[in-house]
């Protein structure tokens, strides 16, 4: 199937699942509305798509990993809601709309994030049928938790305005963005009972590509396509891949990592969609 068509099929699959789940929830109306506001605001759904793509390449149907895809998107969305808060990155726009706290207030934005995080694990645990699902859930918790994404956010807050330092930059990126990007790839392997160093390598490299592209797009991207305020990192003097390597330097690094990922993917006969996805992530403009 054509790449764009398959991509939108995967995006539609997760979007429909989100809609279905929310129809059944009963809770405080404003809280549910705040949760749904951010979760349904669009977004590329790259983490669910990565999970579907790798799971299907290993013979597990996308439909069968939906609860895990949903949980990844819930955790990602909670991190964006909390990251946009005035106490964190203080962003007014996200996914092309006013940030959660701008619409629902800081109190409900915090609660919506907390609720999405809990919903993620509730969903994973309800889908645990064997040791495979338990391992995937545990892996997700490690990636999102105190030694993963949250640690990355903590280092980012501590180091963001220190002098441009490649080692610190790579550590922030590996944890803050990389962990949740790598999670679906390894989770797909765990759910399918496949473990290879190749998945680790693609996951690590794709995480760096993703954050470097984000830093690049903050400088050369289009506000409308990105759906958030650009140029903020530079204006605030934040250390990013662009301050460390320069615009052309970052582009070179992304191209090199993209080639390395494609070389690994080439070893597998049925990785055509995955190869296109690697190119899509590496050359994205939103
Ligand atoms: C608050 C615990 C906590 C963590 C926040 C991920 C994160 C940590 C903050 C987000 C800051 C940020 C913009 C990071 C750059 C990479 C990134 C995660 C971009 C947004 O992800 P996309 O491009 O967004 O997948 P969409 O909207 O397409 O889902």
Q: What is the pLDDT of residues 155-209, one digit of tens each?
A: 999 998 777 789 999 999 999 999 999 999 999 999 999 988 999 999 999 999 9
- Measured CA to CA, the distance from residue 189 to residue 198 in angstroms comes to 11
Average pLDDT over residues 247-253: 97
Q: What is the pLDDT of residues 94-148, one digit of tens each?
A: 988 999 999 999 999 999 999 999 999 999 999 999 999 999 999 999 999 999 9
Task: Give the pLDDT confidence score for residue 204 in this predicted structure.
Answer: 98
Which of 44, 157, 176, 250 to mutate to test ligand 1, by most ligand atoms within 8 A of the CB atom?
A: 176
Task: Give the pLDDT confidence score for residue 15 in this predicted structure.
Answer: 98
Q: What is the pLDDT of residues 213-240, one digit of tens each?
A: 999 999 998 877 777 777 777 777 788 9
Q: How far is the CA of 79 from the centre of ligand 1 (A)?
A: 7
Task: Supply 161's token pair.
Answer: 């305005």
Q: How far is the CA of 267 from the centre of ligand 1 (A)?
A: 30
Q: Ligand 1: which atom is nearest the Cα of residue 85?
A: 1
- Measured CA to CA, the distance from residue 24 to residue 49 in angstroms comes to 24
Average pLDDT over residues 23-45: 96
Q: How far is the CA of 224 from the centre of ligand 1 (A)?
A: 17
Q: What is the pLDDT of residues 58-82, one digit of tens each?
A: 999 999 999 999 999 999 999 999 9
Of all residues in the chain, the percent with pLDDT exceeding 70 is: 99
Q: How far is the CA of 265 from the centre of ligand 1 (A)?
A: 25
Task: Give the pLDDT confidence score for residue 141 in this predicted structure.
Answer: 98
Q: Whose CA is nearest to atom 27 of ligand 1?
A: 43
Q: How far is the CA of 94 from the centre of ligand 1 (A)?
A: 10
Task: Give the pLDDT confidence score for residue 237 in this predicted structure.
Answer: 77
- Number of neighbours of residue 197 by Cβ within 10 angstroms: 8
Task: Give the pLDDT confidence score for residue 223 in this predicted structure.
Answer: 74
Q: What is the mean pLDDT of the chain?
A: 95
């Amino acid at each position: 199937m054509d790449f764009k068509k398959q991509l939108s099929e995967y995006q539609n699959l997760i979007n429909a699942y989100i809609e279905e789940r929310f129809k059944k929830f009963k809770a405080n109306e404003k809280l549910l509305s705040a949760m749904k506001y951010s979760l349904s605001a669009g977004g590329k759904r790259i983490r669910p798509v990565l999970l579907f793509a790798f799971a299907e390449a290993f013979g597990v149907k996308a439909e069968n990993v939906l609860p895990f895809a949903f949980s990844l998107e819930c955790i990602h969305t909670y991190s964006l809601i909390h990251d946009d808060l005035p106490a964190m990155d203080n962003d007014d726009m996200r996914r092309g709309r006013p940030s959660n706290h701008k619409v629902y207030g800081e109190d409900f934005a915090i609660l919506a994030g907390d609720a999405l995080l809990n919903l993620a694990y509730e969903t994973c645990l309800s889908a645990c049928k064997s040791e495979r699902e338990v391992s995937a859930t545990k892996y997700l918790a490690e990636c999102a938790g105190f030694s993963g994404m949250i640690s990355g956010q903590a280092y980012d807050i501590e180091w963001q305005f220190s002098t441009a330092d490649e080692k610190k930059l790579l550590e922030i990126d590996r944890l803050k963005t990389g962990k949740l990007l790598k999670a679906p790839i390894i989770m797909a392997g765990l759910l399918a009972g496949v473990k290879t160093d190749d998945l680790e390598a693609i996951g690590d490299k794709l995480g760096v590509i993703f954050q470097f592209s984000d830093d690049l797009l903050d400088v050369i991207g289009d506000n409308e396509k990105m759906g958030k305020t650009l140029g903020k990192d530079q204006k605030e003097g934040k250390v990013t891949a662009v301050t460390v390597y320069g615009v052309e330097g970052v582009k070179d690094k992304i191209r090199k990592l993209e080639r390395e990922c494609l070389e690994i993917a080439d070893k597998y006969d049925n990785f055509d969609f995955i190869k296109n996805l690697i190119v899509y992530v590496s050359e994205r403009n939103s």
